[in-house]
Chain A
Amino acid sequence: MSALTVTALSKAFGGLHVTRGVHLDVQPGERRLIIGPNGAGKTTLFNLITGELTPDSGTVALFGRDITRIPSRRRPHLGMARTYQIITLFPHDTIIQNVSLALLGLSPLRWNPLIDMTRQGHIVERAGEALARVGLGHIADRPLAQTSYGERRRVEIAMALAQSPKVLLLDEPFAGLSIDERRDVHQLLMSIPRDVTMVMIEHNMDVALEFAERITLLHFGEVIVEGTRAEVVADPRTREVYLGH
């Protein structure tokens, strides 16, 4: 059974057809890369998969279960997590509080107005573990406002990993990182075990190509080419659309 299946997905904003009959079939444990020029509809595709946008037609299925009509807020509970291209964190909190919120989101404790959040040992512990995994364990109590851009990228990933997702959607995880930071994040992503299926949007080809087994090329909301790394790189349409030469 596929981990993530997208069937004939379409979305238009007025006359602008941003997603046109997209098919996507990602196997469990697969690392899939989605590439395409600016405005190809990559992030829109993510927003449709996570339910932040409602598709005009088509379906999204997670491990064979049709989730097209399931509200966005339920999908993390089914094992779907995402990171954002534009960093979307909680600016007034510390790093560990950010990650704790991610854990709390899947816990029934989130409705409890009577207990002390800082005394929820298992949440604090698991948040610490997630931070250690991304190499931020030593600055867990630092306010987010005092962290660097590269550290925030890793907090984004830590929050997604903390939820122990089955399918992880990464929207340009290397955007705006220095070469060193890029290498660190790359190593981090490579270390994620195979029970997590990953779909990644990325512009940065040198790191991204190494990461992916299969690549989907989007252009004007349509899938132009799909195949293994070698197939897509060798395809003349890829060169024409994306590589530009």
Chain B
Amino acid sequence: MNARFAALTVALAALATLPFWMIGVYYLNVSSQILFYAIFALGLNVLVGYAGLVSLGHAGLFGIVAYALGFLLSDGWGHPAAIAMAMAIGLAGTAVFAALSLRATGIGFIMITLAIGEILWGLAYRWISFTGGDNGISLHSRPAPFGYSMASPYTFYYTTLIMFLLTVVAMAIFVRSPFGAALRGTRDQPRRMTALGYHVWAIRFWACMFSGLLTCVAGILFVYYTQFISPQTVALTSSAEVLLMVISGGPATLLGPIVGAGLVVLVKTVVSGFIERWNFLLGAIFVAIVILMPEGLVPGTLRLWRLFWRKQRGARTEAQP
């Protein structure tokens, strides 16, 4: 417990002071990206990890809120009103998404979410009067609540960090709660859960809504970060990338999706500057993870770490007599 507390303190201190020691603004921006993608991945993890429902359409939800915000801002709305409205639209979209997708579970769920994601991508690409088609929508400013402008990379980083920490705390509470336990129950034994008096469909629906809420938060941070939204954001590859973050880091863990987000964003932004075929590298890393630690980086590393120490201890006790 003490080691855990120490690690948490160090991590928090490192994150809080990051702009002061990080070399260059570029890497500060990469850190912001990792943080809001981590929120996105944590949101998807609610479904993939704890509900056992794999979604390939989450970039669509991400896109709904991003496009809504972009459209409202270019329509002349103020930032607070536009953010609130975009969140409402995003959550309404999530409710429809959940109601349609939860007609099935397993492969059926994956296929429905995939189809919805593709429909939203098609809309983003073709509904030019609303989305600007391939040209996308550009934003002209970031908000400045209480005179605290988010235009600089530093202020934007801290805003993202606060949202990220709120998300982590919310996840930590959720996982230990009765609802979290019930959700995991519906993943492992849905039939049993019904026989125990649980409304399995409703539990899954509210899990989708929670997942959608985090996705919307990440979407809004994303739009303000890039100040640009195009169909690329809504595409299947974006959904797959987030899923990759969850699976590579370790589904159904708190730390896993965060580590996964770090890995994918670093390869995508930093490493891609050195290796042209970064997609290939990302694929290779993923294959290595699947072979060496199929449970994901975080649980896998923990397992190897314990194994290492047990061997060490074993060697020591053997050496003593």
Most buried by B among A112, A116, A117, A120: A117
Q: Does A88 contact B (CB under 8 A)?
A: yes
Most buried by A among B191, B194, B196: B196
Q: Does A175 contact B (CB under 8 A)?
A: no
- For residue A101, which residues in chain B have a CB less than 8 angstroms away from its CB? 181-182, 185, 193, 196
How near does chain A come to B103, taking the closest CB pair, in angstroms? Answer: 17
Interface stretch, picked from A3-11, A26-34, A57-65, A103-111, is A103-111
Evaluate whether A113 and B179 lie within 8 angstroms (CB atoms) in the complex, with A72-B195, A73-B200 already known: yes
Q: Verify B182–A110 contact, CB threshold 8 A.
A: yes
Q: Does B147 contact A (CB under 8 A)?
A: no
- For residue A81, which residues in chain B have a CB less than 8 angstroms away from its CB? 195
- For residue B199, which residues in chain A have a CB less than 8 angstroms away from its CB? 73
- Complex Cα–Cα for A73 and B192 (A): 10
Q: Verify B189–A110 contact, CB threshold 8 A.
A: no
Q: Verify B198–A105 contact, CB threshold 8 A.
A: yes
- For residue B174, which residues in chain A have a CB less than 8 angstroms away from its CB? 113
Q: Which of B180-212 contact A (CB under 8 A)?
A: 180-182, 184-185, 188-189, 191-200, 206, 210
- Complex Cα–Cα for A211 and B46 (A): 46
How near does chain A come to B181, taking the closest CB pair, in angstroms? Answer: 5
- For residue B176, which residues in chain A have a CB less than 8 angstroms away from its CB? 116-118
Q: Verify B195–A76 contact, CB threshold 8 A.
A: yes
Q: Verify A90–B177 contact, CB threshold 8 A.
A: no
How near does chain B come to A169, taking the closest CB pair, in angstroms? Answer: 10
Main secondary structure, interface of B, reads helix
Q: Verify B188–A77 contact, CB threshold 8 A.
A: no
Q: Does A91 contact B (CB under 8 A)?
A: yes
Most buried by A among B174, B182, B200: B182
Q: Verify A109–B178 contact, CB threshold 8 A.
A: yes
Name the contact of B178 in the complex, choosing from A50, A72, A92, A112 (C-beta under 8 A). Answer: A112
Name the contact of B177 in the complex, choosing from A88, A97, A105, A116 (C-beta under 8 A). Answer: A116
- Complex Cα–Cα for A174 and B174 (A): 38
Q: Does A114 contact B (CB under 8 A)?
A: yes
Q: Verify A117–B177 contact, CB threshold 8 A.
A: yes
- Complex Cα–Cα for A115 and B200 (A): 20
Q: Does A100 contact B (CB under 8 A)?
A: yes
Evaluate whether A104 and B200 lie within 8 angstroms (CB atoms) in the complex, with A88-B189, A88-B191, A89-B189 already known: no
Number of residue pairs across A and B with beta carbons under 8 Å? 87
Evaluate whether A90 and B194 lie within 8 angstroms (CB atoms) in the complex, with A112-B177, A117-B181 already known: no
- Complex Cα–Cα for A109 and B197 (A): 12
Q: Verify B177–A100 contact, CB threshold 8 A.
A: no
Q: Does B15 contact A (CB under 8 A)?
A: no
CB nearest to B201 among chain A residues: A73
Q: Does A215 contact B (CB under 8 A)?
A: no
Name the contact of B181 in the complex, choosing from A75, A100, A106, A159 (C-beta under 8 A). Answer: A100
- Complex Cα–Cα for A105 and B206 (A): 16
How near does chain A come to B25, taking the closest CB pair, in angstroms? Answer: 38
- For residue B178, which residues in chain A have a CB less than 8 angstroms away from its CB? 104, 107, 109-113, 115, 117, 120
Name the contact of B180 in the complex, choosing from A52, A107, A113 (C-beta under 8 A). Answer: A113
Q: Verify B197–A76 contact, CB threshold 8 A.
A: yes
- Complex Cα–Cα for A220 and B137 (A): 67
- Complex Cα–Cα for A224 and B191 (A): 31
CB nearest to A119 among chain B residues: B176
- Complex Cα–Cα for A29 and B84 (A): 58
- For residue A91, which residues in chain B have a CB less than 8 angstroms away from its CB? 188
Q: Which of A87-145 contact B (CB under 8 A)?
A: 88-93, 97, 100-102, 104-107, 109-118, 120
List 18 other contacts, CB 8 Å, given A104-B178, A105-B196, A116-B176.
A50-B195, A76-B195, A82-B195, A88-B189, A90-B188, A90-B192, A91-B188, A100-B181, A101-B185, A101-B193, A105-B193, A109-B178, A114-B173, A116-B177, A117-B177, A117-B180, A117-B181, A159-B196
Interface of B toward A, CB cutoff 8 Å:
173-174, 176-182, 184-185, 188-189, 191-200, 206, 210
Closest 5 CB pairs of A and B: A105-B196, A76-B197, A105-B197, A113-B179, A88-B192
A-B contact pairs, 27 of them (CB 8 A): A73-B198, A75-B197, A76-B195, A77-B197, A82-B195, A88-B189, A90-B184, A90-B192, A91-B188, A92-B188, A104-B181, A105-B196, A105-B197, A105-B198, A106-B197, A107-B178, A109-B178, A110-B182, A112-B177, A113-B174, A113-B179, A113-B180, A113-B210, A114-B177, A116-B176, A117-B180, A159-B196
